[in-house]
């Protein structure tokens, strides 16, 4: 076999190996990937109930309600275009409060509510998830909050 043919075979084998590695990686992440949705995206895309996702937005002012058990709360996440009611049981981060940015990891229920398993609060007062900031700038709801 000529040297030129050997190089072509090696390049072909390397390409097949790389494709196999990418496909194996995608297959392994199939059930582990958690997609990010804003409330408007979630309403528009009708996220499948039970699917693990991240929901990001702002905690609507006046929406946090502590339940009688002392560890469960209900609140509403908004992006200025849509709202999603969220239920969470556990200890919330210190920075979690009304009017602040939040990312909740969990799943949607059949009725459209969201059950959060983890709450991630913003780390400074100017931080906002990029997808939420973009959506809120489009709807001008961010400007309304600043006035």
Residue 43: pLDDT band with limits 50, 70, 90:
confident
- Please say if the pLDDT value at position 65 is more than 90: yes
- Please say if the pLDDT value at position 48 is more than 80: yes
Q: Which residue has the higher pLDDT, 81 or 123?
A: 81
Q: Which helix (H) or strand (E) holds 14?
A: helix 3-29
Pairing of the two strands 65-66 and 52-59: unpaired
Annotated binding site for heme: 123, 127
Span 43-71, average pLDDT: 89
Residue 137: pLDDT band with limits 50, 70, 90:
low
- Please say if the pLDDT value at position 124 is more than 90: no
Identify the pLDDT of residue 127: 62
**Lowest mean pLDDT segment, chosen from 1-5, 29-33, 131-135, 141-145:** 141-145
At 44, give phi and psi (nearest 5°): -65, -45
- Please say if the pLDDT value at position 117 is more than 70: yes
Identify the pLDDT of residue 115: 95
- Residue 116 near residue 57 (C-beta atoms within 8 A): no
Per-residue burial over 10-40, b = 16 or more CB atoms within 10 Å of its CB, e = otherwise: eeeeeeeeeeeeeeeeeeeeeeeeeebbbbb
């Amino acid at each position: 076999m000529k040297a030129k043919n050997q190089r072509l075979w090696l390049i072909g084998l390397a390409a097949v190996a790389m494709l196999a590695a990418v496909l194996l990686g995608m297959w392994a992440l199939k059930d582990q990937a958690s997609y990010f949705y804003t409330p408007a995206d979630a309403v528009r895309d009708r996220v499948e109930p039970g699917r693990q996702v991240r929901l990001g937005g702002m905690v609507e002012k006046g929406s946090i309600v502590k339940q009688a058990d002392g560890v469960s709360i209900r609140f509403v996440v908004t992006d200025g275009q849509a709202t999603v009611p969220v239920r969470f049981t556990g200890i919330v981060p210190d920075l979690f409060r009304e009017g602040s940015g939040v990312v909740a990891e969990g799943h949607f229920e059949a009725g459209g509510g969201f059950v959060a398993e983890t709450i991630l609060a913003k780390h400074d007062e100017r931080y906002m998830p990029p997808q939420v900031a973009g959506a809120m700038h489009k709807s001008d709801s961010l400007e309304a909050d600043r006035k």
